[in-house]
């Protein structure tokens, strides 16, 4: 059932450096008559951070699409924008920490990072820095909950913004 929830019906692996990018959808926002719905893959229960990140993303669809703030036909960037809204509604830590997962390599030797979501760690780090700046935070105490690469990127970007 969840294979049909792909945005365009297919998984598209591609390589970018050492990270394999696989667009797979674990959640879906559905416009309904009178009431919209959010569906999540049951497998997300095993990964609470991803569960919250994907749920936040789908709620972002409700905020943007459900309230007609944006249109799918006029905003080809609606998926990255939906990831971005999670940051500015205070759930960016989850989105950033769920941006990558480590999966077993096809050859069985070790694990490789698999990107998920629509914004990469660098973009999320920059967005989190702007979020902190808007809140008047020079060194937010919540950044200790970020995965190290995102935390470093956010701190660097925040330092630049404060100069």
Q: Which pTM was predicted?
A: 0.79
The residues near 105 (Cβ < 8 Å, ≥ 6 apart) are 111, 112
Q: What is the pLDDT of residues 100-134, one digit of tens each?
A: 776 677 777 776 666 778 899 999 999 999 999 99
Q: What is the pLDDT of residues 37-86, one digit of tens each?
A: 999 999 999 999 999 999 999 999 999 999 999 988 888 899 999 999 99
Cα separation, 64 vs 36, whole angstroms:
12
Q: Are 91 and 53 in contact (CB under 8 A)?
A: yes
How do residues 6-38 score in pLDDT, each as one tens digit?
333 333 343 344 443 334 568 999 998 889 999
User: Which two three-digit tokens encode residue 132?
Assistant: 């902190």
């Amino acid at each position: 059932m969840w294979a049909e929830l792909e945005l365009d019906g297919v998984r598209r692996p591609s390589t970018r450096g050492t990270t394999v990018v696989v667009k797979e959808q674990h959640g879906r926002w559905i416009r309904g008559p009178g009431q919209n719905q959010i569906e999540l893959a049951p497998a997300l229960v095993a990964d609470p951070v991803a569960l919250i990140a994907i749920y936040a993303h789908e709620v972002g669809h409700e905020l943007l699409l459900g309230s007609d703030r944006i249109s799918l036909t006029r905003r080809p960037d609606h998926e990255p924008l939906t990831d971005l809204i999670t940051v500015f509604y205070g759930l960016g830590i989850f989105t950033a920490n769920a941006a990558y997962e480590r999966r077993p390599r096809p050859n069985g030797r070790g694990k490789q990072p698999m990107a998920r979501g629509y914004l990469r760690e660098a973009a999320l780090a920059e967005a989190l820095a702007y979020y902190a700046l808007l809140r008047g935070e020079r060194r937010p105490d919540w950044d200790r909950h970020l995965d190290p690469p995102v935390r470093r990127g956010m701190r660097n970007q925040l330092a630049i913004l404060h100069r």
